[in-house]
Amino acid sequence: MKHNRLALSALLSLGMLTLSSQAALADLSGDLRITVKDKGEEQQVQGGKIYMQGSADDKERNVRVEIDADEKAGEAASDAVIISRPAENVGYMVFPGMKSYMKMDIESARDKGPNTPGGEGLDPDDFKKIGEEKVGGYDTVVKEAPVLENGKKLGTVTVYLAKDLNDEPLKSVFREEGGRVTETLIENPTTNKLPDDLFTPPAGYSETVLPQIDQLQEELRKEQERAADEAAKEARDNARKEAERSLRDSLPF
C-alpha cells in the first residue's frame, strides 16, 4: 500500500508542521500532488486533496489527506484517506472501497517513524531559512531541516511557507540520503471553513483491526529463523551425501 505511506508522509511534512508565528487564519484546503523520483527518474505520481482544520500555528489542528490511485499504476491501486486528530491522539486510515477504517495511536506511530533526537518529530527550531521562492503564485519563505532517526541522518526536508497564507507549507521536498526524492505540493489553496465530519470516518463504516507492527516483525523474524534452519539442514544433508559418495568412490571394491 504505497499510497498509504505517501498519505502519511504528506501528513507529517505538511499538515503537522507548525512553523507559523503570524496571526491565525481559519481552515485551509487544496488539491494535493505527490511526486516520487528515484535518482532523477520519476517513479510515482499521485493526486488528491488535503484539508486542515485550524490555523497553521495550532499543533493540534485536524488534518485529512485523500490520496488518489497511483497514476502510473492504473487500476492496480486504490484510493486512501488518512485522518489525524492530534488533540485526541488518534488517527484513522480509511478504506473507501471496503467501507472500513483502522484506528491509530498518533504518538505511537510518530515514535516508530523518522524523528529528531528525543523522538519528538521535526521541531520549528530545526528549520533554517535558506531563501525565498514563488510557489503557485505565492511568495514563500524556504526553510530546511535534517531528518534523523536515532541520531542517523535519513535525509533533508525543505518546506515552502506562503507569506500571505499564514506561513502555510504549500510545498515540501524530502530528499533521502539514497537519492529518492518525494515532493508534496498543495495547489489551488482556499481558506473556507471546513465541516467537522470531514475529520471522522463516515457513518456506516466498520473498524478493522490489523496486526501490530511489532507482531508482524516478530513473525518475520521467526520465519527467517525457520528458513535459516532449513537451509542449514539442507547444507548438512548435502555435505553428508557428498562425503558418503566420496567414500564409496574411494573403496577398491
- The overall average pLDDT reported for the chain is 77
Residue range 199-208, pLDDT digits in tens: 999 999 999 8
Cα(first)–Cα(last) distance of the chain, in Å? 64
Is the pLDDT at 211 greater than 50, yes or no? Answer: yes
* Distance of alpha carbon 231 from alpha carbon 217, whole angstroms: 21
pLDDT of residue 21: 45
* Distance of alpha carbon 95 from alpha carbon 157, whole angstroms: 29
Which residues touch 158 (CB under 8 Å, ≥6 apart)?
A: 130, 142, 143, 144, 172, 173, 175
DSSP code of 53?
Answer: E
Helix (H, G, I), strand (E, B) or coil at 15: helix
Instruction: Give residue 142's pLDDT band: very low, low, confident or very high (50, 70, 90).
Output: very high
**The three cell numbers locating residue 90:** 488518534
* Distance of alpha carbon 225 from alpha carbon 16, whole angstroms: 39
Residue range 83-137, pLDDT digits in tens: 989 888 899 989 888 888 988 887 655 554 444 333 345 667 788 999 999 999 9
Half-sphere exposure of 66 (CA within 13 A, CB side): 13
In single-letter form, the type of residue at position 121 comes to G
Residue range 157-207, pLDDT digits in tens: 999 999 988 888 899 999 988 888 989 999 999 988 999 999 999 999 999
Instruction: Give residue 75's pLDDT band: very low, low, confident or very high (50, 70, 90).
Output: very low
**The three cell numbers locating residue 155:** 535525509
pLDDT of residue 31: 94
